[in-house]
Amino acid sequence: MRIALVSDGGIGCGALPALIAALRRRGWSVIPVLLPVSAPGLGAALLSDLCGSAAVSGGALPAVDVTVVAPCEASLLAALQAPSGSGPGWRGPVVVVPIAAAPVTTAFQRAGWRLAPPGEPLLGGGVTGLLMASPEVVCQMVAACVAPQDLAGTRVLVTAGPTCEDLDPVRFLSNRSSGLMGLALALAAWRRGGRVTLVHGPLQVDIPRLPELQAVPVRSAREMQAAVLANADAQHVAILCAAVADFMPAHCAERKIKKGDGAGYALELVRTPDILATLGALPRRPFLVGFAAETHDLHAHALEKRQRKNCDLLCANDVTEPGSGFGVATNRITLFARDGSVTALPLLSKADAAERVLDRVVAALPVARLSP
């Protein structure tokens, strides 16, 4: 994919190296474009070096798939928001990445244009007020420009990460889930136009702050169930990828449990609520996708789980296989559908695996929306 990176050369350009690196890490070509009004900023030579592509000056854009205006400072944003301000002949999708100092009006509504939300402070040392969306947010917005919008108007709930079941104020039971797979599903659904609610336990990954992606942090299985049920009614699709603890301590001690005289300690555990099975039993439920983390007899266990928890699609992964399951960037998923079909996906990045899962969801959705 080819991206034109339009910059007006202002002080916010200090954020460009990280953004350019993030765009290029995804394998995208970045062509720097300096506007006629550009201040010296980072300089054409440095931008060309960072992008590995000669800077274009003068305002005419090269042929690209997506244009990114970053950082977009107050004067440029005002020009873009003026009724006649359409940029110098810009065509195709445009992602505008303002800094917070630049006011945004509702006049910013143009087909194919996306406005990044403000992000973290650009400058430290007591200098405040300059904010630009993180490189990850910009990359997601760019990817969304070229993604199929086949989930537009669809509300998708995703659960991700582990749950933590507290024993006392300092100890808890949990598992190895990082949240990568659930986040990949949430982001893929968001890029495809879905309005996403991500209910998640404590994650080892950051959630990009994107419009229409609502993150609901929880800790325990019971909290996750409450958050899922509170949101379930409004959803068209629910994808339960979280590694929910199956057991929790029967009691959570108010004070740190003392180790005593060195003898063993017996922990009484009770079952947690099964969130997927609870959704599966609802008379009106969203299109329901479950996951299954297996260590052996994957097919038999997955078939039994899909049926018992009454989900429309079950994504099973063998978490003992290297490169699959917990905490890694890739996954090998086998899909078990309600119609009895079984589809073994190859080992894929979690982002690609998420897209393949959503392809199946999208294909089934018109039917699912009509079902009770």
Cβ burial, residue 161 (10 Å; 0-12/13-18/19+): buried
What is each CA distance from 181 to 58, 78, 203, 355, 361, in whole angstroms?
43, 40, 11, 11, 16
246 binds ligand PMT (CB under 6 A): yes
4 binds ligand PMT (CB under 6 A): no
Query: Which candidate in 72, 139, 311, 315 is catalytic?
Result: 139
Q: Which is nearer to ligand PMT, 151 or 292 (CB)?
A: 292
DSSP assignment of 331-348, as one string?
Answer: EEEEEEETTS-EEEEEEE
Per CB under 6 A, contacts with ligand PMT among 188-227 are 221
Do 23 and 50 form a contact (C-beta atoms < 8 A)? no
CB of 247 to ligand PMT, least distance (A): 9
Cβ burial, residue 121 (10 Å; 0-12/13-18/19+): middle
The residue range among 28-36, 103-111, 259-267, 291-299 that interacts with ligand PMT, by the rule CB under 6 A, is 291-299
180 binds ligand PMT (CB under 6 A): yes
Member of 178, 197, 220, 235 binding ligand PMT (CB under 6 A): 178
Give the chain's radius of gyration (CA, Å).
24
Residue 139 catalytic? yes
275 binds ligand PMT (CB under 6 A): yes
Ramachandran assignment for 94, one of left (phi > 0), alpha (psi -120 to 50 degrees), beta (any other): beta
Q: Nearest Cα to 212, choosing from 149, 299, 283, 276?
A: 149
Q: Nearest Cα to 276, choosing from 246, 320, 317?
A: 246
241 binds ligand PMT (CB under 6 A): yes
**Sheet strands (E) in the chain:** 2-7, 29-34, 56-57, 66-72, 94-98, 113-115, 120-121, 131-132, 155-160, 165-166, 172-173, 195-200, 213-217, 237-240, 247-249, 269-271, 287-294, 313-318, 330-337, 342-349
Member of 65, 274, 352, 359 binding ligand PMT (CB under 6 A): 274
Q: Which is nearer to ligand PMT, 73 or 318 (CB)?
A: 318
108 binds ligand PMT (CB under 6 A): no
The residue range among 52-60, 92-100, 112-120, 269-277 that interacts with ligand PMT, by the rule CB under 6 A, is 269-277
Q: Which is nearer to ligand PMT, 115 or 160 (CB)?
A: 160
C-alpha neighbours within 13 Å on the C-beta side of residue 62: 18
115 binds ligand PMT (CB under 6 A): no
Size of the site for ligand PMT (CB under 6 A): 29
The residue range among 35-43, 56-64, 69-77, 271-279 that interacts with ligand PMT, by the rule CB under 6 A, is 271-279
298 binds ligand PMT (CB under 6 A): no
179 binds ligand PMT (CB under 6 A): yes
CB of 369 to ligand PMT, least distance (A): 22
Q: Which is nearer to ligand PMT, 114 or 309 (CB)?
A: 309
Question: By three-state DSSP, how is residue 273 classified?
Answer: coil
Peptide bond between residue 249 and the one before it cis (omega within 30 degrees of 0): no
Per CB under 6 A, contacts with ligand PMT among 313-372 are 317, 319, 325-327, 331
| CA atoms of 341 and 346, how far apart (whole Å) | 16
Q: Which is nearer to ligand PMT, 19 or 232 (CB)?
A: 232
Q: Which is nearer to ligand PMT, 23 or 240 (CB)?
A: 240
Enumerate the active-site residues: 139
Which residues of this chain interact with ligand PMT, rule CB under 6 A?
Answer: 161, 177-182, 221, 240-244, 246, 272, 274-276, 290-293, 305, 317, 319, 325-327, 331
